[in-house]
Structure 1
Amino acid sequence: MNLSVCIIAKNEEKHIENCLRSLVNKHVQIIVVDTGSQDDTKNIALKYTSCVYDYQWNDDFGAAKQFAVSKADNDNILILDCDEYLQGEESVLIELCDILNKYPYKVGRIKCINILNMNNIKQDKSWEWISRAFNRKFCTIYGKIHEQIISNSGEAVETFVSGIVINHMGYCLDDDERKVKAERNIKLLVNRLDEIKTIPEESAEQEIPYILYQLGKSYYMEKEYVKACDYFSKGLSYDLDTKLEYVIDMVETYGYAMLNSGAEKEAMSFVNIYDEFGDSADFKFLMGLIYMKNGLFDNAVKEFKKAVLYKDCKVEGVNSYQAYYNIGVIYECLGYKDKALEYYEQCGDYENAQNREAYIKNN
């Protein structure tokens, strides 16, 4: 198979073995570039591949990944992070290669399942499609952090949806780890914003709202919701394509940041963008929460009921048990215990619903 999987690493002994184990016996070349580990990362990597290289870290994820790409024997590239591991059999990689061989100018999108915690009996998950596979003769990695894949010619990139699915463990952090990661990202993103001010190219100017979005996400990770709102607001002040996934995510995360910062009244402004962004379970669930926080319970129930009509969603449960649970909470608060039980019972093994159900039945 003419595919090289490129990975950069630093002090990733906690994750890298799971990542590499998911790739062994799948007939792909594995490239690992170490950017200065002081733990056992390199030794673990050498158990799985002889292609382990050192790179002097320079606060540039994109440059490190491009260095890894330069060490590949194959032109077809799949980028993975150490805290990600592949689901599925070799056949999904073969299929990816077949598409890249046939359409080398296209970029492959993979499904990334974000595991948001490891403590609950029921893991919280969200998922997104991200661009990670490409032919290096036609495309390259762009950006110092939260990199994107762009064409070498500067033309718009065509994409295709691959069968690759990965689990991403990067959000399963304790408070200290989360703070360190967020502060590192914020520093790099702010530096990039300063750089753009000195670059005359229009492409750099177009990058600004994406950086503002990532700054908002970083502050959201740190639970600094007011700052997150500020950056999301600035990002959304630009004239953006409302169909872009990062724009949709910026809108939805902005809504949650407003609710978490106590700005539920201001969040009612989302009614004005309902027609533009409202055709998803995730947005309808968010609107349900906004109405619920503002005491508009009939409206909230209607939105939660709309959310469960969707087959797909990005955040697990917003089109099923989470929506039913919130309807149950509303009816319980209003004193309709039988109706509350009806919806709690539809939540399956969701622990919060089971606890409320037990409380009602025992009181």
Structure 2
Amino acid sequence: MITAVIVAKGDAKATLTTLDSLEKYNLDFLVVEEDFTEEEHVAVSRYTPWIYTRTLSKETMADALNAAAAEAHTEDILVMYPGETVGQLNMDELMEALSYHSGQIGLVHRISTPMEDDGEPEEELLPRLYNRTRYQFVGGDKPKLSPLEETVTGNFVTDAVIWEAMPDAQAADVLLQESRLEEFLSKHAGADLGEARPEIQREAAELIFRAGKACYLQRDYENAAEYFGMGLSFDELDVSAPFVEEMVIDFGYALMYSGQMKQALVLEAIYENFDKSADFLYLMGMIYRGNGRSAEAMEEYQKAVQCENARKAGVNSYLAHYRMGELWSDAEQVEKAKKEFEACGDYEPAKERLKEFDL
């Protein structure tokens, strides 16, 4: 059993969001808080009886995390911060990995949502899973795990995925963009936009794209995909328009992130329009891999690294090499996998994969 520990400095609403995302998993929950109201305390207690009150404002985050871990009923600890949510967590695989990598720190994938309209979610590996009898936090308000004994060391990469807390501004932007779209549609009520002049179709598509993008940044991928699909349905749409390529890329990721991997293959129909785009080629590699078409995925990643420019950092370099390394690793082609991971340079996930080969 693992205990998910949350240190909440008055963040009751965000803490409930995190607990709600964890509830379906076989975990213990422990919350350390400072100034929850009685009503907030009752709300949190629906998820766990283990709620401890401390004067967090007078403690460093490292001290608070150590105090929380000390109260846990299990030795294995998963650190979560208020507002974070679980994107992927297989408890059976996680427990098996903990047993195999006994005494090591588990790295989880944390995905952050960009504030910029043209950004893609960024992924980083963070040390969040550890055994409290072997590690403790140091570093004050910039906590990091440190072994209690010099002989204890090492990390391993888990398949667990968590999402960062959602900024309130992004939720507000969804309402703004949807209201602008509704205003446009009201203005053209009764008209068949599919038969409208190209400039009207472009304006409609761009407004639909912005509404979809707002949903996308809020991680509402199902609605985002619906908007993007609608925006790409216009016959007179100029595929050379910058926002169109971005909408295509976001459409593919939205379908993937909302579990519609097979449906994402619809992008094959417009492949020739974007076959010089590293971002599109990398995306197609992800889609093919997700549909069990590994050979085709490898081809797309190889094409991506041949592209000179890319909108998203890494898709024509270290990210594509990393994905090829994963494919070779899945095929048990160790030397080829190593070569691709080494080509990733300082990309931390690749460095961690190389360490696994040395075990």
TM-score by length of 1: 0.50
The CA distance in 2 between the partners of 1:234 and 1:115, in whole Å, is 21
How many angstroms apart in 2 are the aligned matches of 1:270 and 1:216?
A: 17
Task: Tell me whether 342-351 or 174-183 shows the greater mean CA deviation.
Answer: 174-183
Could you tell me which runs of 5 or more consecutive residues in structure 2 were left unpaired when the two chains were aligned.
Answer: 1-115, 126-163
| Pair 1:175 & 2:167 matched | yes
Q: Kindly indicate whether residue 315 of structure 2 is the aligned counterpart of residue 284 of structure 1.
A: no
1:269 aligns with 2:266: yes
- AA partner of residue 320 (structure 1): S
CA distance in 1, matches of 2:259, 2:123: 27
How far 1:331 moved relative to its partner? 1.4
Of 170, 191, 194, 2:183 maps to 191
- Seen in structure 2, the aligned counterparts of structure 1 residues 356 and 313 have a Cα distance that, compared at 3 Å, is same
Partner of 2:24: none
Is 1:251 aligned to 2:248, yes or no?
yes
Distance 1:258 1:118 in 2: 17
Contact 2:318–2:343 at 8 Å: present in 1 too?
A: yes
CA distance in 2 between partners of 1:263 and 1:175 (Å): 26
Decide whether the 8 Å contact of 1:193 with 1:211 is kept in 2: no
| Greater mean deviation of Cα atoms: 330-339 or 188-197 | 188-197
Superposed, which structure 2 residues align to 1:1-363 within 5 Å? 174-197=166-189, 204=200, 206-239=202-235, 240-362=237-359
Q: Distance in 1 between matches of 2:306 and 2:171?
A: 37
Report the Cα distance in structure 2 between the residues aligned to 1:250 and 1:222, rounded to whole angstroms: 16
Q: Displacement of 1:182 after TM fit? A: 3.0
Aligned partners of 2:170 and 2:258: how far apart in 1? 19
* 2: CA distance, partners of 1:252 / 1:296: 19
Q: Once the 2 structures are TM-superposed, how far is the Cα of residue 119 of structure 1 from its aligned partner? A: 9.2
CA distance in 2, matches of 1:344, 1:282: 20
Q: For 2:270 and 2:299, how far apart are their aligned partners in 1?
A: 17
Q: Name the amino acid aligned to 2:249.
A: E
Change (3 A) 1:331 1:119: closer
Cα 1:358–1:113 change in 2 (3 A) is farther
Question: Would you say the 8 A contact 1:196–1:205 is kept in 2?
Answer: no
Structure 2 Cα separation of the partners of residues 328 and 339 of structure 1: 7
| Pairs aligned (count) | 202
Q: Map Cα deviations across residues 13-69 of structure 1 (whole Å, 9 max, x no partner).
A: xxxxxxxxxxxxxxxxxxxxxxxxxxxxxxxxxxxxxxxxxxxxxxxxxxxxxxxxx
SS in 2 for 1:197: coil
Whether the 8 Å CA contact 1:225–1:257 is kept in 2: the answer is: yes
CA distance in 2, matches of 1:322, 1:117: 13
CA distances 1:265-314 after superposition (whole Å, capped 9, x unpaired): 11112222111221211111111111110111111111101100111111
> How has the CA–CA distance of structure 1 residues 357 and 290 changed in structure 2, closer, same or farther, with 3 Å as cutoff?
same
Shift, 1:208, TM fit: 1.2
Matching residue's letter, 1:213: F
CA distance in 2, matches of 1:353, 1:321: 9
Q: What is the DSSP-based 3-state SS (H/G/I as helix, E as strand, rest coil) of the residue aligned with 2:306?
A: coil
Q: CA RMSD in A?
A: 3.0
For 1:118 and 1:294, locate their aligned partners in 2 and report how far apart those are by CA, in whole Å.
23
Q: Which position in structure 2 is the counterpart of 1:41?
A: none
Q: What is the letter of the counterpart of residue 217 of structure 1?
A: K
Distance 1:310 1:193, change over 3 A: same
- 8 Å CA contact 2:276–2:307 kept in 1: the answer is no
In 1, are the aligned partners of 2:180 and 2:207 still within 8 Å (CA)? no
> Does the CA contact (< 8 Å) of 2:170 and 2:214 recur in 1?
no
In structure 2, how many angstroms separate the alpha carbons of the residues matched to 1:118 and 1:295?
A: 24
Q: Which moved more, 1:203-212 or 1:303-312?
A: 203-212
Letter paired with 1:270: L
1:216/1:227 contact within 8 Å kept = yes
- Measured in 1, the distance between the counterparts of 2:182 and 2:165 equals 23
AA partner of residue 170 (structure 2): R
Amino acid at match of 2:348: E
- 1:223 & 1:204 partners in 2: Cα distance? 29
CA distance in 1, matches of 2:248, 2:120: 20
Call closer, same or farther: CA 1:205–1:253 in 2, change over 3 Å: closer
User: Cα offset for 1:352?
Assistant: 1.2
* 1:115–1:278 distance in 2 versus 1, CA, 3 Å: closer
Do 2:178 and 2:211's aligned partners in 1 also have CA atoms closer than 8 Å? yes
Separation (CA, whole Å) in 1 of partners of 2:342 and 2:173: 39
Question: Normalising by the residue count of structure 2, what TM-score does the alignment of the two structures yield?
Answer: 0.51
Alpha-carbon spacing, 1:352–1:190, altered in 2? closer, same or farther (3 Å): farther
